[in-house]
Amino acid sequence: MPTYIMSCFLVPSSVCKETEGMMADFFWHNKGVRKIHWLAWNKMCESKEDGGLGFRKLNTVNLAMLAKQIWRIISNPDSLLSRLLKHKYFRLLISSW
């Protein structure tokens, strides 16, 4: 899944689950023949320090990327995106002051 899309839009959890299923199938399928599940997907998504493989859950990555965009807008109030959003969504609030 493109990271740019994940940094701009909230990806539905069903899409994230389906994509994670494809990632799991990469490890556990072999041309129509199922492989042995040596490790549960949740365990694979744990950090390496906790005994996992360090894969990241796509929902968590998506929320982190969106939070980064929000932080960028808040911390740079004079940026073009911040000014555009203020003008579009907060115009009535600002004009009433």
User: Where residue 23 falls among pLDDT bands split at 50, 70, 90?
Assistant: confident
| Reported pTM | 0.75
Written as one letter, the residue type at 12 is P
Q: Which H/E stretch holds residue 29?
A: strand 29-30
* pLDDT the model gives residue 42: 85
Range of the domain at 75: 3-95
Whether the per-residue pLDDT at 68 is higher than 80: the answer is yes
Structure confidence at residue 63 as a pLDDT band (50, 70, 90)? very high
Q: Tell me which H or E stretch contains 33.
A: strand 33-34
Across the chain, mean pLDDT equals 86
Contact 79, 72 (CB under 8 A): yes
The structural domain count of the chain equals 1
